[in-house]
Amino acid sequence: MTIGTRADGAPAGKAGRREWIGLAVLLLPLLLVSMDVSVLYFAVPFIGRALEPSGTQQLWILDMYGFVLSGLLIVMGALGDRIGRRRLLLVGAGIFAGASLAAAYSGSAEALIAARAALGVGGAALMPSTLALIRTMFVDAKQRSTAIAIWTAVMTGGISLGPILSGVLVEHFWWGSIFVINVPAMALLLLLVPVFVPHHRGTARGPFDAIGALLSLGTLLPVVYGIKESARSGVSPLSAASIAFGLIVGALFLRRQLTIEHPLLDVGLLRMRAFGGSVVANLLAMFAIIGFAIFTTQYLQSVLGMSPLEAAIWSLVPSLAVALAAPVAAMLAQRMDRGWVMSGGFALGAVGFAVLATVDQDSPLALTMTGAAVYAAGIVAVMTQVTEMAMGVAPPERAGSASAVLESGSELGGALGMALLGTIGDAVYHRAMTDTTAPGSARETLGGAQAEAARMPREAGDALVHAARDAFCDGMRAAAVGAAVVMVLASVYCVKVLRGVPVAGSGAESEAGAGADAGAGVEAGVEVAVEVGAKRGVEPEAAARAFVPE
């Protein structure tokens, strides 16, 4: 690219007005896909009255979307690298719109489950496409860092906005409106993407690895299912067998990817310290932020007595902290080593969880919100940087696969967090309630205790609820301690593994006069790494190792 000025006035090599408008367009599907993770929270009672699903069907209505989404991310990321990410984005938008209509007008629980599965297919096509397109649209490192910070804030904010949107819509319209709202948004996306998002021609060559795609599904779906079942009902022979089966298929998948000429997944990406380390850090971040979210929600509703909508609105407080933390982290990363920024983010997350480890049922709401805001800000600061680091070192032609691997790690980390932190909370609750004379269901969950209390004399019922709330807070504090320990370990991990790792396309790269070409691959990245590393006092050999598979 020649030095000069573009037609829109932006310097050559930098994103201009069209790219920034394109980013806003890409945020639309990201917001909807992330909102659909949580949009059913308030609609379930209305769906239950309309479709009368069984208990098992209701669980599948809730879980099917995320289940299919997580299973297909790697396949869709690789497909985008082949057919072009903009094309895959448009296909995903069409699927998402059609599935939304089908979900809105479902006449049975089975039809809604199938529509939620189709929504997962569309979401899996949309999510990696948005991040991969940002990688190719924003060549300049500082601009890309800002764009990814915005992307991260919108993704996490969408999950918080989902319940609020659901509550408002079902209060004024029928339950299907939570899906219908997706249709005009996807129609707008189909109109704007060809205008503002540049076409990306697929660069992957050779036959598509269909067997690898099936093995990928056979790995992720059983593992995610087993973890979710363990979180919901405890470890059982079925959940353990499901996880074991997925791990065995996963070993076959990796073996195939290492031996065939045109793999679905470039395993060499995971061997890069910058990329593999980022995936692990992102998994740990999602472990904490998703795994603990259920405790905060239950505390607001079942301990403090808030309505679901009130709890959802108060849950926006951490989202405001996230909106501030993401750009601040991006700014700090331009001035200091990213490893220290990520380590500091995890340390801040540990402080937030330490605050929550002091909360009981009589604590002021401000204490809970402070703890939640602090840990959310710290963790999202990490997520911003791991996303930037991972996408910065990934060759542009493999950006789709790279984003899919990163997001698959997010899904797995969230599922593990819900399972392990949930197990800790449940175990402490059960132990605390074992010493009481409470009925069986009251010893299982706080909701069960509240249901039992409603059938008891007022004084006895109030005593039972008070004891159950104390037990729940004991469990929440234990889970917060567990999350804080993970955050401390993650902070140390970032210092040990990711400190001093230069990123291709970093701000220093511009100073070195390299990397303006978005087509530069791993070989060019090695040259850039050595040059950037020299400016930061990193030995050439150490800098090169960040990019070369070990």
Share of the chain above pLDDT 70, in %: 84
User: CA of 191: how far to CAs of 91, 197, 519, in Å?
Assistant: 13, 11, 28
Domain shared by 231 and 370, yes or no = no
Asked whether residue 175 falls in the same domain as residue 33, the answer is yes
108-113 contact pairs (CB < 8 A, 24+)? 108/51, 109/51, 109/52, 109/53, 109/54, 109/57, 109/58, 109/61, 110/57, 112/47, 112/51, 112/53, 112/61, 113/57, 113/60, 113/61, 113/64
Q: Give the separation between CA 404 and CA 212, rounded to whole angstroms.
A: 15
pLDDT of 516 reads: 34
Token pair of 455, please?
């059938």
Asked whether residue 462 is domain-assigned, the answer is no
Q: Are 195 and 214 contained in the same domain?
A: no
Q: Among residues 156, 172, 137, which one has the least CA distance to residue 34?
A: 156
Instruction: Give the residue among 462, 481, 470 at the shortest CA–CA distance from 429.
Output: 470
Domain boundary (220, 239, 263) is at: 263
297 and 428 share one domain: yes
Buried b (16+ CB within 10 A) or exposed e, 62-86: bbbbbbbbbbbbbbbbbbbbbbbbb
Residue in this structure with the two tokens 């197990």, named with its chain if needed: 423
Residues 403 and 494 in one domain: yes
Residue (of 64, 498, 71, 542) closest to 284 by Cα position: 498
Residue 453 located in a structural domain: no
Q: Which of 272, 307, 306, 329 is nearest to 497 (CA)?
A: 272
Looking at residue 53, its amino acid is: P
Ranges under pLDDT 50 in the chain: 1-3, 5-10, 12, 505-538, 540-550
* Domain's final residue, options 263, 288, 306: 263
At 353, list the tokens: 């969880």
d(CA 77, CA 393): 16
Q: Does 427 share its domain with 359?
A: yes
Query: Which structural domain, as residue segments, surrounds residue 257?
Result: 209-263
518, 85 contact by CB (below 8 A) = no
Straight-line distance from the first to the last Cα atom of the chain, in angstroms, rounded to the nearest whole number: 32
CA 517 to chain centre: 29
CB 102 within 8 A of CB 47: no
Judge if 187 and 270 occupy the same domain.
Answer: no
HEC sequence for 457-511: CHHHHHHHHHHHHHHHHHHHHHHHHHHHHHHHHHHHHHHHHHCCCCCCCCHHHHH
Our count of domains for the chain comes to 4
Q: Quick one: 389 and 322 in the same domain? A: yes
pLDDT at site 215:
87
499 within 8 A of 339, measured Cβ to Cβ: yes
What's residue 228's pLDDT?
73
Same domain, 163 and 247: no
pTM exceeds 0.85: no
Hey, what are 377's tokens? Answer: 């800000």
Distance CA 74, CA 374 (A): 32
- Flag whether 527 is in a domain: yes
Specify whether 170 is located in the same domain as 315: no
Cβ count near 357 (within 10 Å): 17
The reply to whether 405 falls in a domain is: yes
Contacts of 292 (CB under 8 A, 6+ apart): 353, 356, 375, 417, 421, 479, 480, 483
* H or E stretch covering 186: helix 182-196
179 and 91 together in one domain: yes
Q: What's the count of helices (H) and strands (E) in the chain, helices before strands?
A: 24, 0
Beta bridge partners of 381: none
Beta-bridge partners for 29? none
DSSP output for 28-70? HHHHHHHHTTTTTTTTHHHHHHHH---HHHHHHHHHHHHHHHH
